[in-house]
Chains A and B, each alone.
Chain A
Amino acid sequence: MSEPVGTPVSAREAAELLASGVTVRPRGGGTKWAWAGAAKPDVVLSTAALGGVRELNAGDLTAVLGAGLPLAEAQAACAEAGLMLALDPPGERSTVGGVVASADSGPLRHRYGAPRDLLLGMTVALADGTVARSGGKVIKNVAGYDLAKLFAGSHGTLGTIVEVVVRLHPLQASTATAAATGDAQELARGALALAAAPLELERLDVRWEGGSGALLAQAGGVSAAARAGRAAELMREAGLDAATHENDDGLWEEQRAGQRAPGGTILRVAGLPAELELVLTTAERHGAALVGRAGIGTSWLRLDAGAVAAVREELAPFPCVVTDGPSGLDRLGPRDPALVALERRVRERFDPAGVLV
């Protein structure tokens, strides 16, 4: 990276940089830098000096985190208090701000939602040089517009996230995972049965590569082992070959890793749980490896860049987004012009001069 880097030490300084007349792109851990394609900003806004666990209110299940804080450090601080920030996307160097700005998530998405669902408040630096806060520090609050959700997933195009307030959850006393292998039809059947079962699963994932796949269901809490056992039974009823694992960290690490392909191509498919078999057979036909959230419907296909257009067409109308991948690929695919026009109106208000690139 050859662009000059500005490292503001406060929200105010970040806002001054955004208003300085040059084009700017924020960067946290830099793990998703390539997602923006080939365009280069004049200056990189590093959030490295905007980190820190600023508040950890264990009794209130809330935390105030600087955007530049590495997610792993946030997790470590929460774990010390017996809590967790229920976000587990891949990327060891990812920062809290980067994960929120890219709306990235991992297997815990199944029970706890995406970053948007965990945000209670946010402070952003804006292109007009102002610093704006929305939301609050309490877990229930409807005062004012929910700008935190608007900025989550906006990839830095509306302003720079400098601080977030998040909801925390209790760290599960124990976990256990049921894992099963089978063909696409069995996996799809098992996934639907598990998604409908009142097991309160922490995670429910699928993976697929080279003609076969697996379904993974993790339960947490004091009854984790018993519920994982019940999940394994449901998998067997669906025709799958199932076993339970109490040391399950490695299984889930692999699921997270499957969401990235450094140097390769990842197509993120926003599907629906009941269409899992279609997504699996499409992946198989194009030689793609897949990890996915079986109860949510989102999958990550690792494939040849040349297969993107065909997969997108076969899975239409599911939105398919290229995350990792060579520049020059159509990253977003076809979009509704009316929606794009409205998004542009929002961007014009927050960044009229188009400096946030």
Chain B
Amino acid sequence: MRLVGELQRICGRENVLTDRDRLRTYESDGLLHLREVPAVVCLPGTADEVRRVVRACHEAETPWVARGAGTGLSGGALPVADGVVLALSRLRRILSVDLPNGRVTCEPGVANLAVSRAVAPTHFFPPDPSSQVVCTVGGNVAENSGGAHCFKYGFTTNYVTGLEVVLPDGEVVELGGAELDRPGLDLVGAFVGSEGTLGVATRVTLRVVPVPETVRTLVAYFETMEDAGRTVSDVVAGGIVPGALEIMDRLSLRAAEEATAAGNPLDVGAALIVELDGPTAECGARLAEVLAICERNGARGVRVAADEAERELVWRARRAAFAAMGRISPSYYVQDSVIPRTRLAEVLGRIEELAAEYGFPVANVFHAGDGNLHPLVAYDARVPGEAERAEELAGEIVLACVAAGGSITGEHGVGVDKKRYMPAMFSDEDLAAFQKLRCAFDPEQRANPGKVMPTPRLCGEVPGPYRQHPLEAAGVAERL
């Protein structure tokens, strides 16, 4: 492969991997059952090396996949056979911290949590995926990552103000900047969440916000998921916007308890975590309201974390829920669907029916404020056929969520894993509109091909020569 020599010249021999054993480290992301060994992995050390690598791929007509920490759960960083993986792990410098303006500029390989650490103790970066210790800012940008605090604080897209992007033809363009309300199209908004298909970000400017004065965290235990769900509805109807609202069902609670011994009871149907943050006066008044709502909905018990250590224990159990499933099941498959929260009881009922029909236990972990459901289908991959049937069940669950007015993915991305469900949410005309954006950035579709869109589509030429806008012709340039 002639490209390999070129990549070695750009990144240095030691930063280009072609040995099959070393390539296998990059064969999948966090969705382990999807694997593809790439032809070559290169690890550029600077933004300019990234530009030259992308340019070289463009000239060699070779597809490439950018990759951060590889923690994604949708196969979004799955390599392309015969393609290049552009691993950004060496681009991990924080370039500037500007607290008066609430901005951090960093390279894409910086870990999510490192941003908050760089601006502590006065500020923080709100998006907090469970993998925040290792997952990268570049990956967060590609996936528009969320976390447990989205209901109040929003998503990565609400915190990215500027991007330096290498387009798939190797050109570099600055999208946005430190300032908001810039003229022109919101290409930052279009780029964030585009799953690596529009180019690769080599520098990211983020907005960080002041740390709340007070955080109050409580866990309430309920007999049923319905009671927990109704409590959430009452909290929201009361005009309260907690920083986090998380529900764990009986099965996930049991798994997490075995892993963390956080002291959660095992004989309850659901645990609800409510975290209020903000000004002390506001939190204090709202906490009393939340406690009253929990009681009214038949809470079996409520624990209010007395200090940071107790709060950490509550969150440790919640964050451990995925990995802890390994203790009660040899294999599991995580879904990431979203439902309108008011349809919770109905959708959970449907999931229960489906679980019984397929004969697999399904645990539910739920970002209850924003309706993001993470059903975990437990199965045994060693039993022939189980993996396929578990995936089929997971698919039925996704479709049930879409049928209730929801989405196929709340934060994990479409990647490869969920692209087959895209037609359940989007018509042919919708998908064709998505493709227009893709083609504007990447007409040859070499950046992370085979992701997001359910079926391959060509870009084609722009029909006819571009006609100048009358506005441009009149010399007033683009509209605002």
Q: Which residues of A are interface residues toward B (Cβ below 8 A)?
A: 23, 35-40, 57-62, 82, 102-103, 113-114, 116-117, 124, 126, 130-134, 136-147, 149-150, 152-158, 169-173, 192, 195-200, 221-223, 226-227, 268, 270-274, 296-298, 318-319, 321, 323, 327, 330-333, 335-336, 338-340, 342-350, 352-354, 357
Contacts and interface: CB of A to CB of B under 8 A. Distances in A.
A154 B185 contact: yes
Given A146-B192, A354-B467, A339 B440 contact: no
A41 B451 CA distance: 39
A35 B413 CA distance: 38
A344 B286 contact: no
B338 A141 contact: yes
A321 B405 CA distance: 40
Contact of B466 (A169, A327, A332, A352): A352
Contacts of A192: 100
Contacts of B372: 140
A42 to B, nearest CB: 10
Contacts of A35: 479-480
Interface residues of B, number: 106
B220 to A, nearest CB: 19
A116 B407 contact: no
A132 B433 contact: yes
Interface of B: 98-103, 122, 143-144, 146, 150-151, 154-155, 157-158, 167, 171-175, 178-187, 189-190, 192-194, 210-213, 233, 236-237, 239-241, 278-279, 281-282, 285-286, 338-342, 367, 370-372, 405-414, 418, 422, 425-427, 429-434, 436-441, 452, 462-464, 466-471, 473-474, 476-480
Given A130-B432, A130-B433, A319-B179, A141 B184 contact: no
A37 B476 CA distance: 7
A357 B186 CA distance: 18
Which one of B151, B173, B212, B213 has the highest number of Cβ atoms from chain A below 10 Å of its Cβ? Answer: B173
A236 B151 CA distance: 34
Which one of B186, B427, B468 has the highest number of Cβ atoms from chain A below 10 Å of its Cβ? Answer: B186
A113 B155 CA distance: 12
A348 B186 CA distance: 16
A32 to B, nearest CB: 9
A200 B282 contact: yes
A140 B370 contact: yes
A138 B285 contact: no
B102 A198 contact: no
Nearest to A199: B279
Contact of A39 (B279, B410, B471): B471
B432 A349 contact: no
Contacts of B370: 138-140
B425 A144 contact: yes
Given A38-B474, A130-B429, A274-B98, 18 more contacts: A37-B479, A60-B342, A114-B181, A134-B433, A138-B410, A139-B151, A141-B409, A195-B102, A197-B210, A198-B213, A222-B285, A223-B281, A223-B285, A273-B102, A298-B180, A338-B173, A340-B184, A340-B478
Give 6 nearest A-B pairs by CB, closest first: A149-B189, A132-B433, A170-B239, A223-B281, A354-B467, A274-B100
14 contacts: A102-B480, A130-B433, A145-B452, A150-B187, A171-B239, A195-B210, A226-B281, A274-B100, A296-B180, A338-B171, A339-B173, A343-B187, A346-B187, A349-B436
B371 A60 contact: yes
